[in-house]
Structure 1
């Protein structure tokens, strides 16, 4: 189930996070692939799988809450000296504009449940070093030829 049109989206829902995570592809050309659960102006909720380390970046339009569904890796928030391991059951939080990165995948699949407040536009990703990524290389829905771009 996906609410992609905030004007016509249902007012409630039940989501099987495990089944949604299991339906994500085994591999991807982009850093991550996501599925929207809700997509409203006040907040969006997504399940996404990470396929490769993600360089330092930030989001200009939203705060982000990341609940670790599966996998292990390292993540830093604010500064690379903050790098620490994460695992299932942990919640990572950072405000808009705060630089963050996922430098290492330790155990796959790495899957997060993300709640973004307010809604995070799929293209809202700014890489600290533009040479390390773009909105198109970050998320499959932004890639050229993507049905959901």
Structure 2
């Protein structure tokens, strides 16, 4: 057990300290994002991630995604709509297959809580332009549990 999570004795529920988790991300990264997986169940996964570099247009083929901004500000786009600014307390939702990305980080650290339904395999990152990246260049993951 870590200081970031407290599990119940039955291990079927947890309390996560998102501030502590967010504070543990490094200042720089080689990948576009680094995430910490909080849960990884078949029906849903939850993670906290920090965006380090702009994320080009991509989509996920297997899940819907809920993104709650914890800190920082960035521009974000969904589909063909023009980019819009997001900041703390805002929730973004989109269905599987929706092209999205983060073209600009306006205030760092840009940290997000993500819930994927059903669970998103870390390799489920499909770039619109394949030369923009791979799942390995997109995200580095670590598990909290």
TM-score of the superposition, structure 2-length normalised? Answer: 0.89
The equivalent residue for 1:16 is 17
The equivalent residue for 2:5 is none
Q: Aligned-pair distance for 1:140?
A: 1.3
Q: Which runs of 5+ in 2 are unaligned?
A: 3-9
Could you list the per-position Cα deviations for residues 12-46 of structure 1 after superposition, in whole angstroms to 9, with x for gaps in the alignment?
A: 00000011001111111000000011100000000
More strand by share: 2
Could you list the per-position Cα deviations for residues 79-127 of structure 1 after superposition, in whole angstroms to 9, with x for gaps in the alignment?
A: 1x43100000000010000000100000000000000000011111000
The equivalent residue for 1:97 is 97
Within 5 Å, give how 1:32-111 maps onto structure 2: 32-79=33-80, 81-111=81-111
TM-score of the superposition, structure 1-length normalised? Answer: 0.87
RMSD: 1.7
* SS at 2:15 equivalent: coil
- Structure-2 separation of matches of 1:70 and 1:51: 13
Q: Aligned-pair distance for 1:70?
A: 0.3
The equivalent residue for 1:5 is none
Residues paired across the two proteins, number: 136
